[in-house]
Amino acid sequence: MPASTGPGYDYHDTLIIAHAVFASLAALITAPAAILVARYFRSRTWWFKAHIILQIVTVAFTILLFVLSTVAVASGGHGTQFVGPKKDPHHDLGLSIVILLWVEAIFGVAAHYTHTAHSVTEGTFPTIKAKKSPLRHLHAWYGIFVAGLLYAGIKTGIDEWNMVADSGTLVPRGIEITFWVIFALEIAAYVSGWFLEAFRGGRKSNIIREHSTDAEKDETPSI
């Protein structure tokens, strides 16, 4: 094990703390912010630019968190721990989350290049009822799934630290509580966004435009 880098934390633990910070930024800040922008501000011309910038940062964070975790694990002299006697759910789940998120980003780019004719929908949930490419529906639903996995990555990561940190420390209670509070607030905000759409959709018919591509073409807001 390389030399100690700080009070109480050796090389392994220091890398894992940096890993946890990037994981938390991706799972609790950039990914949810991008999704909430897509939920609440789809009628603004800037929504797509905000969504894509935030999600590019999310992808960058997942690259960093992945490299930091594998270097930390390798520093113990065991290589990676995705298979073999030392594998455990956080390692496997973590690897899956990273791959599934990158695939989701590819779906998002592909969805952006699909064409959907303008149409008018009556009633609730125009996002669901709009005639648009299945890729767009796939990206949205699969994106919710990936966001759920990101939260699971944080929860299992906290448990993992409590089991394997060289320092023998536990994740402070305050950090765990903060995680659950942010999680609850973000879920509540997202679900409220769907209720708002149902409420607005029930009151009037909606022109469904071409989503992410509208703003670029004719400056009309996209939904």
Binding site for ligand HEM (CB under 6 A): 12, 16, 19-20, 23-24, 27, 31, 35, 38-39, 51-52, 55-56, 58, 65-66, 69-70, 72-73, 76, 80-82, 90-91, 94-95, 97-98, 101, 104-105, 108-109, 111-112, 127, 132, 136, 139-140, 143-144, 146-147, 150, 153-154, 157-158, 160-161, 164, 171, 211-212
What number of residues does the chain have? 223
Smallest gap, in angstroms, from Cβ of residue 54 to ligand HEM?
A: 8
Smallest gap, in angstroms, from Cβ of residue 97 to ligand HEM?
A: 4
* Closer CB to ligand HEM, 14 or 58, in the complex: 58
Q: Structure tokens of 63?
A: 């690259």
What's the CA angle centered on 27, arms 86 and 5, to 5 degrees?
A: 55
Smallest gap, in angstroms, from Cβ of residue 120 to ligand HEM?
A: 16
Say which residues have a Cβ less than 8 Å from residue 151's Cβ, sequence separation at least 6.
27, 183
Distance of CA 161 to CAs 2, 27, 67, 185, Å?
A: 19, 17, 17, 25
* Closer CB to ligand HEM, 90 or 201, in the complex: 90
**8 Å CB contact between 198 and 39:** no
Burial grade of 176 (CB within 10 A; 0-12, 13-18, 19 or more) = middle
Smallest gap, in angstroms, from Cβ of residue 132 to ligand HEM?
A: 5
* Closer CB to ligand HEM, 9 or 82, in the complex: 82
